[in-house]
Every structure is written in structure tokens, then in C-alpha cells.
A and B are shown apart, each in its own frame.
Chain A
Amino acid sequence: MKQDSIQRPLLEVSNLTLKHRATSGATTILRDVSMKLHRGEILGLIGESGAGKSTLGNAILGLLTPEFERTAGTILFNGQALESMDERQWDAIRGRRISAVFQDHTASLDPLMTIGAQLEETIRATDGNVSAHQARARAFDLLVRVGIPNPHERYASFPHQFSGGQRQRVVIAIALAGTPQIIVADEPTSALDATVQKQILRLLRELVDETGVSVILVTHDMGVVAEITDKVVVMKRGEVVEADTTSTILDDPRKGYTRRLLAAVPRLRVRSCEQSDNRSSTDREMGSDAEAPILIVQGVTKTFSGQGFPWFRKHTRKLALRNVSVRLARGAITGIVGESGSGKSTVGRIIAGLETAGEGTLDIDGTSYDISLPGQRSGLLGRVQMIFQDPAVSLNPRMSVAETLQESVRFGSRRPLGARPDVATMMERLGLAQSLLARYPHQLSGGQKQRVCIARALLAGPQIIVADEPTSALDVSVQAEIAKLLKEMVTEQAVSMLFISHDLALVQELCSSVYIFKEGVVEDAGSSEFIFSRSRNSYTRSLIDARPRRFTY
């Protein structure tokens, strides 16, 4: 590391300023940005949405669309000025000297071409002297190197036959095919589950250490930065806030913005409390049993039928949930954790009456509902309110905030007219200014939209709220605010909440008890303290291990 800093940097961005020209006028996307990248180094570019980090990545790759205009600054790569190159010159750089890995592994690969052919194509495009035979041999080596099992068998497979993690490994292999000196990795693991994410990051680190390639890692996730980067550049609204080694940024951040970003990252506590030793590990008490749970779900099983003609359908049936039982204590927040495809959202939708299930029973506050019937008919619909993942599609784009909220009071509320909560009071409590009432969803920020969604759910006066990943589409700093708000609301409004999430730390922060879902089955369950500190379940452990160590205590 120390020798590196003496060397001349491989890539040096100096005082780069970029403007984006649109019909509505020009906006500055990057302002006076400078950074240095050395050989064999992983540099993290971190920032929230709108920080300009992806634009910087594209500028380094020469992939900016014509609407972008450089008004000042240089990008020097091995002494060459990249910023003034034409397309012909870029052809000698891209793939051969600087390559890329993008977030969407599905969109990165040609669905109509075998992965072997895509690798060979890249090898031959970046090296004119290589024979077909040599290209094939090198393609095999690359697949082995990125950890694709049985490369000989998988060579002629198409992208859709791989899992997400394997597809991203193939993309990395393709990025390495031209033996580049720099790889720009734009959110390479954001579309992957935490356990897979960890493996891909490890692979990147190994490749850097082995081949001496340098990586620019564009990310919004402080956990990713903490995990593998050597240096960090923190960006905000097109400007560099702070740049230093990773350990300095994490341990001793100078700027307030960096400190705030770090503080917003949820931390996971895995060390057990003091008196835990004298409890047996089978002790899984789920809060006090003094009161009956408000929600009891038992033995829920659901299958999704596949598409196609009736006589083929049974072969394509998928078991979405198998014998799932969940309890929610009065006034508590219970977490449901799982990776994508674990059935955690399906359970939430069944409880809200939005979907039916083949088998199982559901009791809310002593009343039983038949969940094999559609929610309207069983009377379940409306007893439970939901807060959804993506605020961008959770509000009717053609209705103003006032209309949305008034509708909830008028139609959604089960309380008598006089006892209904007031829109204005609720808005104030949730930190929404009255001036927002006349606005339409596209005029609100993500955080504001999600607050409106919370208000809508609460105004209906439910006993239970199901929150399905309510923070995962938001920036980190907003995430923390929304989580805090949810916790306060549960106490103030006397509701109970089912909190569905993939984020262990967030669940630990909010929930008193936790269910771990895996492939439609409840894999592990217990009090929050038990699950995170003492559970011996191997799947639970692997989820905890996949967390960045830096933010786990």
C-alpha cells in the first residue's frame, strides 16, 4: 500500500465538471471532482442517489450519452487523456484496458447467445492474434477462475440457465477477458441476495490480489465498502465530500456527511446479553405470554400453479409456502426475514387478505377468517393495512396527497365517524408539511411518499399493519428515519406490526421476535435476542455471517 502511493496513479481524475443538457436546461451532474486510482487497488465510490457516482463511472468508461458535456477537468489513464478521445480511440481502451461490470446481470448478457460464445467473442475482440482454439481454452480458464462449477458442461449453456450469482460471475469473467487494468463495477452486488453478495465480493478481492487489476466499485452500500475496498471516495450531489483510505473513513471520518452516512448504517449485535448463559438454547420465548397474540396464523400452505395448458400445469406447480405458522403479539413488532423467493412477502399478502392460500387458519383478535376465500368474501380484507416496498408505485399517480388520505379516512376506516383520526394531525405527526396536501406523488421525494403511505395505512385505523420491505427502496439516511417513525407509530397508535425485511440489522433494531424464512418454510424462529445471539440454526448463522463484519458487533 505504501509503495503504491509513491507510484504514479493508474488513473487520475482532476477537477472534472460535467453538465447534462436537457430541454429544460442544463444541470451540473459532477462539480470539480478529483480522484486517484493505483494499481491493484479497490476504490469505493459511495453516495446516495443523485450523487453522480454512476456518471463518473460512465465517464471513465467513455459511455456518456451525448447530452453530457464536459466543461472542465481531465481524466488521465496511464498518461493518456481519456476525456478528449474519439470513438475509434476508445475502441482500443474499452475491454482491453478498462472494462466494466454492471448491476443487472440479466441485462448484461445476450439472452440468445451461449455464455461460451460471449466469452470467446470478447476474447477475440480484444486480442486480434488469438486463434479460435486458444480463445476457447482461455474462456474455460476464465470460467474456472470465477468459480463456475463444471465449466465444460456449462460452456454451451444460455444465460437464463444460470442463477443470478453465477450470471454475475460470468459477467466478471467477460470483464476480465481482455485482461484490463481497471474494472469499473457499478453496483455489482446490489441485485443479489446477501449470502451471494458476500461470495461475489470475495471473488473480486481475490481477483484483485491475484492479477493486480484495479477496481472502481460504485455503490450506495457502506457495508460493501467496508468489506473489500482499500480506499473510499464519498460523493454527494456531484461533489467529492471526502476521500481517504477505507479504515480512516470508517474509523475517523472528518466530514459530517460521512459521519451521518455511517451512523445511518444499521448495526447488528450478535453478542448475547449478560444473563443469557443460564438459559438453555431451546428457550425461544416470544415475548410475554400474558396476553393472547393478536394474530395467529397456522399451517399455511400455498402453491403457485405455473403457466401453460391445464394438462401440463401440474408439472410446473411451485410450492410457495409449506406449513407456515406465525404469531404476532399485541403491540409488538415481529420480523419476517428471508432472501428473495423465500415466501416472506406471500405470507404478508395472505394475512392482509390480498391472496388466498390452499390450507391453514388465520385468527385476528379472536375472529377466524377463511383464507381459502378471496379477502372480500371472508371479510378479512381491510382488517389489516399494508405499507409496501416501492413508494413509487404505492400511490395513485393521479391522486393528490389530500385525496389519497381522505379516501383512507372515508372508506378504509372501520371506526365510527366521530372517532376517526384527523388527516392534518396525522400529517404533522409524520413530519409532512400541510403544503404537501395539494401535491401529486411525482412531486414528492421517496421518503415523503413512504410517509404518505404510512399515514394512509394508519388513517384506516387498523389493529395490524404488515410492512413489506418498507425501507429497502430508500436511501440509507431516509431508511433510518422511516424505521424510527414506524417504531414510534406502533407505540403511539396502538397497532401491532409484521415487519418483512431482508435486512437483519433493521429487524433486530425494530422487532422483539423474528421468523427466518427459507424456500417457503419457517427455518428458524424465536425472540430477537435468541435468533441473533444464540441460534444454532446453520441457515440463520449463514445469514448473519453474510453481513459485513464491520457493522456487526
Chain B
Amino acid sequence: MSIITTVGGRLSQAFLLLLVMSLIGFVGIHSVGNPVYNIVNIETATTEDIRRATIALGLDQPLWQQYLLFLKNVVTGNFGTSYIYHLPAFDLVMSKLPATFELASIAMLIAAPTGIMLGLLAGRRHGSSVDRNVLKASVSALSIPSFWLSMMLIMLGAVILGWFPSGGRGATVSLFSREWSFLTLDGLRHLTLPALALAVPNIALIARLARSGTIEMESQDFTRFCRAKGLSSRRILFRHTLPNISVPIVTIVGMQFGGMLAFAVVVETIFAWPGVGKLLIDSIQLLDRPVLMATLTFVSVAFVGLNAIVDLFYAVLDPRVRLSA
């Protein structure tokens, strides 16, 4: 029952979230700039051209009617047609998804194990030089602005060493009728730098969390009792401490993974990685409203969905949640 409650609560919250998001996004986007000027040629267009374009885009209607129309269309999966690419906005987002997804996945595959191991190592020897160095390194890593890190990775890996390309996806292979880079050697070379740029702050974040969780656990009666009953410290660390600190770690991994779908904005822009984030920032700069709304909606849905999965993970991990009647 608790799982049903959790899912029910999650879904209603998600629905509310999406509604509010779409409203704010819609009103917000409509308050800046007129996309008509991005479509017609400003030098040659007549007033009549502009009027016709405005009607064609449905911009002559009152805002609330535009919003209702938007909602109605969204329910049927229609976000409108991109002003710039003249493609259905939702299809455009979907076509960019594999690139973002593989980038985020590889970054997390690097970040999570590295971060957890560093955190456990540091937390177990609280106060030692290992601990202090891990802590310092993680504070430093979290202080590097993501765009600068990306640029320095390009400078080092692409310009100075010349080992990796500075941008783009490289060769791709089709799988499930989508294009993927991680299956080719060239694609992997293109993935390395952006994945590193995304992974570094996450390693630091996860390491910090794992460290403080470990310290907290080690200071508890529970660990004292484990030692008193004769368990080796290795077994305590992996069999008891790790599962008990996994709840916050799973949370942060889920949140960060969702965040990467959005935060990849910066990294994708710099590495010219054709993903959802780059699409988002392009559509903001070009005032491509349908694509912008479709991207925002997608990112929100993905984020809420990931949060819900994380909540279900709690229930699987923690018998107190799973078995509460």
C-alpha cells in the first residue's frame, strides 16, 4: 500500500508540477520578443507579411486562448512545428535524446563508482590525510565552473595533446532506429571529453555524500555494536555501511542524472554535442517557442520521472518503507 501511495502522490505532484511549469514557461516565453521577426526577413517584409505570419503562428489570439490551444495540442502529443527547422517540435526533441542520454549515462557510469569509492575511503579514515585530500579535491572540483572545465579539457585534450576531437558526435551506429555514438571507436573518442566534463563535479558530489554518510554511520552505536560482535571493518563497510548510506546516494545519482539531461546545456553547447541541452539553448536564443516548450516539458517529465523511480528505489532498498502496513 505504501508503494501505491508513493506512486499516487508522485503522479499527482508530477502532474501539478508540469501544469505549473508549462504555464510559467508559456507566459514567460511569450513576454519576451516577437518570434515573427526571427521568421520573416526584417529588411524586406511588409506589414502585410508580418500580419500574415502572425496569424499563421496563431499569435493574434489572446494569451489564454493560445495557452488552452497549447494544452489541447499537448494532450494529443502535438507541440507545434518548429519555426526554424519546420519539423514537429516533439520529434525534434526525441531525435536529440539519444545523444544526451548516452552522454549522461557514460558520465554517471564514471562518476558513481569513482565517487562512492573515494567517499568510503575518506569517510572510513575520518581525519586522516586521505580524508583531508579527498575533501579538498572535492571542494575544488565543485568550484570549477562547468563551462571553463569544458574549455580547459578542449585546450588540453584537443588543442595541446590532440588526442581527442574538440566537438561533435563522430561516427554513429543505428540501433533501435536511433543513432548512437558509444558503439564506435570514433564515437567514444568524441564522447570522452564531454563525459569527463560532466563526470568531474558529480564525482566530487557523490564522494562528499558517501564520505559524510560513512562518517555518520561509523559514529553510530550500530557500527560500534558490529565491531563488538566481531565483524571485520571491511565487512562492516561493505555489508552494513554502504547499504545504509545508499539511499541518499541513489537520490543524488537520480537527481544528477536528471540534472544532466538539463545541465548538459553548457557542456553540449561547448562540445557542439547535438543533444537536448543544445537544442534548449538554441531555441531560447532563436525564440523558437514550440521547440522551447517541447524541450522544457520533456526535461520536466524526465526529471519528475527519475524522481519517482528514485522514490521506488527507497521502497526496494529500505524494508521500513517496503513493509510498513
A residues sitting closer than 8 Å to B (CB atoms) are 61, 63, 87, 91, 94-96, 98-100, 102-104, 107-113, 121-122, 125-126, 158, 160-161, 171, 174-175, 177-178, 184, 308-309, 312
Contact = CB atoms under 8 A, between A and B. Distances in A.
Contact of B229 (A94, A160, A161): A94
B244 A108 contact: no
Interface string B210-231: 0000000000111011111111
A113 B225 CA distance: 15
Top-9 shortest CB links A-B: A95-B230, A100-B228, A107-B221, A158-B319, A108-B225, A95-B229, A126-B230, A94-B230, A122-B229
13 contacts: A63-B224, A91-B232, A95-B231, A99-B230, A100-B229, A112-B243, A112-B318, A122-B231, A160-B319, A160-B320, A161-B323, A174-B229, A175-B228
B222 A94 contact: no
Nearest to B8: A309
B161 interface: no
B1 A99 contact: no
Nearest to A100: B228
Contacts of B239: 121
B221 A112 contact: no
Task: Provide the main secondary structure of the chain A interface.
Answer: mixed
B239 to A, nearest CB: 7
Nearest to B226: A110
A63 B228 contact: yes
A308 B229 CA distance: 38
Interface residues of B, number: 27
B235 interface: yes
A175 to B, nearest CB: 7
A112 B240 CA distance: 8
B143 interface: no
A107 B231 contact: no
B171 interface: no
A128 B99 CA distance: 51
B9 interface: yes
A94 B232 contact: no
B225 A112 contact: no
A268 to B, nearest CB: 32
A178 B230 contact: yes
A103 B5 CA distance: 35
Contact of B228 (A61, A109, A112, A158): A61
B182 to A, nearest CB: 34
A110 B244 contact: yes
Interface in B214-273: 220-222, 224-233, 235, 239-240, 243-244
A104 B228 CA distance: 14
Nearest to B231: A125
B240 to A, nearest CB: 5
Given A112-B319, A121-B239, A312-B1, A99 B8 contact: no
B228 A95 contact: yes
Nearest to A87: B233
Contacts of A308: 5
B240 A110 contact: yes
